[in-house]
Amino acid sequence: MIKSPVSKATPLKRALFFLCLLLVASFFEAPQSAKASTTIVNPNQIYSYSIMQRDIKKLADAYPDLIAYETIGQTKYGRELWAVKLGRGKSVLFLNGSHHAREWITTTLLMKMIDTYAAAYDNNTTISKYNVRELLDHVSIWFVPMVNPDGVTLSQQGTAGLPANLAKTLKQYNGNSANFNRWKANMQGIDLNRQYPAQWNTIKNSKAYPWHQNYKGTQPAQALEVQSMMNFTYKIDPELTISYHSSGQILFWHFNTLSKNLSRDKAIAAEISKLTGYSLVQPEKNPSGGGYKDWFIQEFGRPGYTIEVAEYAGERSVPLSAFNGIWSENKEVPLFTAQKSYNLWLEKQKVQYLRQSMSLLAETKLYSKIGAADSISNLKPQQVEVTAQKGDWYQVVSNQGTGWVQPSPGKLAVVEDMNATADLKDNAYTYKYPDAFSPKGSTLSPQTVQVIGRWSDWLLINTNNGNWWIDGRHIELNPTPEEAAPDVAPEKQ
């Protein structure tokens, strides 16, 4: 028997040897696995505007092909209203939180959702019955986690650091109380959820002057935050919206809803009620308007909901100890409503008849019709003739017959033939098909590669191990001999 060097070593040397092995193993551990197991959002803290900004950037850095963010406007005091996109589909669900300052636990909830769903997508795991990757391949969820960052900051930190005259004014708006924990308005004393142009003139129980709560302003949509929210809603055109508030464990779903939409909207509300355990609020004949949900239902004629999380807390923020219960009650709500959003979007899409040859680049299920429960076969990679499209479904003629496919990103493409080379200046992953979440092959060291095809930002290369895709966003193609040759003036006859 051949003995290893370790077998002759002293106990101390053996311990040092195995410690070195552990260090080496940890050094070469795949970064993707480490990333996916890391929790970015910590809900067990007072979740401030600055923490939210930091976490949004961390999430986008961790999942660059899944999460994007942008500012949709600024408050009077210069804070950005951040919107975060999670998902890759054309249909849109929109969630927002912290219209009211003291209700900042709704920001924590929305940020926890982004973190949890992104990790599930990256790991290709399920949450309850939902296949998160499959769902977010076809739906995009937009979040505005903190509609009222000025008010949230005031509610959490009081007037510390503010100019003396502004601090004095805000204290007057607060009934000369130093308890800003109860503050709901923005820093102009305007209640943002009484600002939307939905029966604004008939809002009930409104204060006549700026106050810590319930002042509707001098005209609808005068607050910059509300203007930004309205403009952004038009831009993303969501099929369904949820505004998260606290507290009371109740669900608002109706605002002068058209009779043709009643059964649809109430059925979705009833399912949300089952998921959360929250009670449905009965419709009123003359509801007090001005809320985001009210405006969305009135303007778009689509389902809009206001969810009040946590047991009633009175005029104060919900305690941190309530978060685990809130999370348990709501973690499936966006997944359920994302599926509903997709269905509503797909219903509106018209069939377009095509005649186009495309490459199916990875195995894809073939269905007899759109939305069929079971597939009729699995299509292997091949050239297919696309004869029709509805939304993100394609009717194809394949070597296994005609049917419908709903490919995930990168699986169905028109590949441009190429004959070029490219210099890899850094290590590059190879992929089975052109998508960052496609199965990976090997890692290529810096070298010159032969490029034989292109789709979007992706390059198809020929290697000793077959044809693979690489992300070409930061790779320049070398000029072909024809392109490199200098222009020669024609000879004079």
DSSP string, 416-434: EEEEEEEE--S-EEEESSS
- What's the pLDDT tens digit per position in 263-274? 999 999 999 999
Angle at 284 between CA 282 and CA 287, to 5 degrees: 125
Q: 108: burial class by Cβ within 10 Å (0-12, 13-18, 19+)?
A: buried
**35 vs 180, residue with greater confidence:** 180
- CA distances for 172 relative to 150, 157, 161, 169, 184, angstroms: 17, 17, 17, 5, 14
- Written as six digits, the tokens of 215 are 């002042």
- What's the pLDDT tens digit per position in 376-408? 999 999 999 999 999 999 999 999 999 999 999
- What's the pLDDT tens digit per position in 302-336? 999 999 999 999 999 999 999 999 999 999 999 99
| Residue 1: pLDDT band with limits 50, 70, 90 | very low
At 480 the pLDDT is 77
| Residue 479: pLDDT band with limits 50, 70, 90 | confident
- Written as six digits, the tokens of 428 are 């590059």
Fill in the DSSP letter of residue 180: G
The residue type found at 49 is: Y
Judged against a pLDDT cut of 70, whether residue 217 lies above it is answered with: yes
Q: What is the Cα–Cα distance from 120 to 310, expressed in whole angstroms?
A: 25
Judged against a pLDDT cut of 80, whether residue 33 lies above it is answered with: no
Is pTM beyond 0.75 here?
A: yes
| Average pLDDT for 101-126 | 98
Residue 152: count of CB within 10 angstroms of its CB: 29
Report the percent of the chain where pLDDT is more than 70: 90
Please state the φ and ψ torsions of residue 333, each to the nearest 5 degrees: -60, -50
At 487 the pLDDT is 57
- What's the pLDDT tens digit per position in 429-463? 999 999 999 999 999 999 999 999 999 999 999 99
Fill in the DSSP letter of residue 183: -
| Residue 482: pLDDT band with limits 50, 70, 90 | low
Stretch among 25-39, 278-292, 352-366 having the lowest mean pLDDT: 25-39
At 491 the pLDDT is 55
Angle at 46 between CA 45 and CA 52, to 5 degrees: 95
Mean of per-residue pLDDT scores for the chain: 92
Scored b (16 or more CB within 10 A) or e, 457-485 reads ebbbbeeeeeebbbbbeebeeeeeeeeee
Q: What is the Cα–Cα distance from 186 to 78, expressed in whole angstroms?
A: 13
| Residue 489: pLDDT band with limits 50, 70, 90 | low
